[in-house]
Amino acid sequence: MTIPFDKNTQRIAAIDWLRGIVMILMALDHASWYFNTNRIFADSILLYEPGLQFPADQFFTRWITHICAPTFIFLAGISIAISNFQQRQQGISNAVIDRELLFRGAFIALIDLGLFSLVSGKPIFQVLYAIGISMMLMVYLQRLGIRMAFFLALLLIVGSELLLMELWQPGGKVPFWLAITFAPVFGETYTALYPALPWLGIMLLGWVFGQRLIAAQSDSWAVNRMLMTIGWFMLILFVVIRGLDGYGNMFMHLEGNTLIQWLHVSKYPPSLAYTLLELGLMAIVLALLMRLESIKKAINPNSPVLVFGQTALFFYLAHFCVLLALKPLFERGSLEQTYWITLLVLIILYPICRIYRSLKYRYPQSLLRFL
Residue 138 lies in a domain: yes
User: Is the whole model's pTM more than 0.85, yes or no?
Assistant: yes
Mean model confidence pLDDT for the chain: 92
pLDDT attached to residue 8: 42
Confidence check: pLDDT of 60 > 50: yes
Residue 332 lies in a domain: yes
pLDDT attached to residue 11: 78
Of 26-40, 183-197, 216-230, 343-357, least confident by mean pLDDT is 216-230
Residue 130 lies in a domain: yes
Of 17-21, 68-72, 87-91, 366-370, least confident by mean pLDDT is 366-370
pLDDT attached to residue 218: 66
pLDDT attached to residue 185: 92
If one compares 120 and 369, the residue with the highest pLDDT of the two is: 120
Residue 1 lies in a domain: no
Mean per-residue pLDDT, 226-230: 95
Residue 290 lies in a domain: yes
pLDDT attached to residue 171: 83
Contact 80, 136 (CB under 8 A): no
Q: Structural domain of residue 268, as residue ranges? A: 13-370
pLDDT attached to residue 12: 87
Residue 6 lies in a domain: no
pLDDT attached to residue 228: 96
Residue 5 lies in a domain: no
Confidence check: pLDDT of 6 > 50: no
Q: Calculate what percentage of the chain has a pLDDT beyond 90.
A: 80
From 109, 105, 100, select the one nearest 137 (Cα to Cα). 105
Residue 171 lies in a domain: yes
Distances (CA, A) of 128 to 136, 144, 194, 299: 12, 24, 9, 30
pLDDT attached to residue 10: 56
Q: How many domains does the chain have?
A: 1
Confidence of residue 333 (pLDDT cuts 50, 70, 90): very high
CB within 8 Å of 345: residues ≥ 6 apart = 27, 31, 319, 322, 323, 326
Confidence of residue 298 (pLDDT cuts 50, 70, 90): low
Encode the chain in three state secondary structure: CCCCCCCCCCCCHHHHHHHHHHHHHHHHHHHHHHHECCCCCCCCCCCCCCCCCCCHHHHHHHHHHHHHHHHHHHHHHHHHHHHHHHHHHCCCCHHHHHHHHHHHHHHHHHHHHHHHHHHHCCCEECHHHHHHHHHHHHHHHHHHCHHHHHHHHHHHHHHHHHHHHHHCCCCCCCCHHHHCCCCCEECCCCEECCCHHHHHHHHHHHHHHHHHHHHCCCCHHHHHHHHHHHHHHHHHHHHHHHHHCCCCCCCCCCCCCCHHHHHCCCCCCCCHHHHHHHHHHHHHHHHHHHHHHHHCCCCCCCCHHHHHHHCHHHHHHHHHHHHHHHHHHCCCECHHHHHHHHHHHHHHHHHHHHHHHHHHHHCCCCHHHHC
pLDDT attached to residue 306: 96
